[in-house]
Amino acid sequence: MADCVLVYLLFVCGVFQTGAAAVIQTQQTVMAAVGEDAELSCQLLETKDVLQVTWQKSSNDVETNVATYNKYFGQRVNDGFTDKVKFKHAGLWNCSIVIRNVTEQDEGCYRCLFNTYPEGAFIGRPCLQVYELHEPVVDVRESNSTEEWVVSCSATGRPAPTITLSVSQQDLNFSQYNTVNVSNTNATFTVTTTAVLSGSLKQSTQVGCAARVLSAPHREVMVTVPEVQQVYAAATADYNVSFWIIASGVAVGQIVFACVATFIAVLLKKKTRRGTLRTTNKIPQKSANDIID
């Protein structure tokens, strides 16, 4: 009962804080892409009499309670976080939460407090870094001069991504690098790197473009150079498709027409010949008749 009252007081009044962190194992920085779920976990490494675990979000030195777990009241996610946070593993010595569908607003440092009696709170401080990285877009064009291609790769992310071009064929080199960095309204950056690839191209040479932000997994796109040209051609010739359909329709029509026409012509010719024959047959008859008449 005394425990219960104490826990209730903790619940209502918050916690005492000793600030000890050494006995807590937690992640220093958790990285998550926009839209992903992020898990923050804390583990108390020493055996203590833990009454409650409290999760807080720190921003500008203000701590907001996010969620609590204790034996008596179980798991509780505070108002304003109910759609955002859930417990992954609720335990008094090992406690983790999941921040769902992370956005830029979820970025920052969090605190896990193991509230013990009589020592007070042991605090862990995992931080969440939210990044954004879209798949890079690569374009390879033939340049004016022979044995030269203009490769350009563009990637959008937050913070600004770095772009690395590569080529599978060793005797080909990139030169004349040029990078443009555009800042978008939603705090992302679109970085475009253009370079000239020169040398004599073998078949199925691949050009790669890797985009990176922070230490998050990079995103890489590989394109086979001749394929790219086809794709490029296909993309720019989209409007031609209907033209080709119409054109081929016309062609088929013409062929059908030509066939039918030839057939008819042949038929007519035959008929005419037969007719002619008949006529010629008839004529003598007719003429014969005529003669008879």
Nearer to ligand NAG, 88 or 269 (CB): 88
Q: Figure out which of the listed residues 28, 47, 60, 144 binds ligand NAG, where binding follows CB under 6 A.
A: 144
Residues in the chain: 293
Stretch that binds ligand NAG, among 10-18, 154-162, 260-268, 273-281 (CB under 6 A): 154-162
Tokens 């080709």 locate to 244
Record the tokens describing residue 113, joined without a space.
Answer: 């407090």
Which is closer to ligand NAG, CB of 123 or CB of 191?
191
- Report if residue 173 touches ligand NAG, rule: CB under 6 A: yes
Q: Is 43 in the site for ligand NAG (CB under 6 A)?
A: yes
Distance, in Å, from the CA atom of 3 to the CA atom of 193, rounded to the nearest integer, reads 63
Write out the binding residues for ligand NAG, residues 68-97 only, by CB under 6 A: 88-89, 94, 96
> What is the C-alpha to C-alpha distance for residues 263 and 280, in angstroms, rounded to an integer?
24
Which of the 8 DSSP states describes residue 136? Answer: P
Residue 194 binds ligand NAG, judged by CB under 6 A? no
- The answer to whether 218 touches 166, Cβ cutoff 8 Å, is no
Q: Cα(261)–Cα(258) distance, rounded to whole angstroms?
A: 5
Residues 6+ apart with CB under 8 A from 106: 38, 84, 99, 128, 130
Q: How far is the CB of 134 from ligand NAG (least distance, A)?
A: 6
- Determine, following the binding rule CB under 6 A, whether residue 181 of this chain makes contact with ligand NAG: yes
Nearer to ligand NAG, 16 or 81 (CB): 81
How many CA within 13 A on the CB side of residue 238?
4
**Residue type, position 223, single letter:** V
Note whether 232 binds ligand NAG by CB under 6 A: no
Residue 176 binds ligand NAG (CB under 6 A)? no
Q: Are β-strands 127-133 and 29-33 bridged in parallel, bridged antiparallel, or unpaired?
A: parallel
Q: Which is nearer to ligand NAG, 49 or 171 (CB)?
A: 171
DSSP tag of 106? G
The contact set with ligand NAG (CB under 6 A) reads: 34-35, 41, 43, 88-89, 94, 96, 101, 103, 132, 134, 143-144, 156, 160, 162, 171, 173, 179, 181, 184, 186, 188-189, 191, 198-199
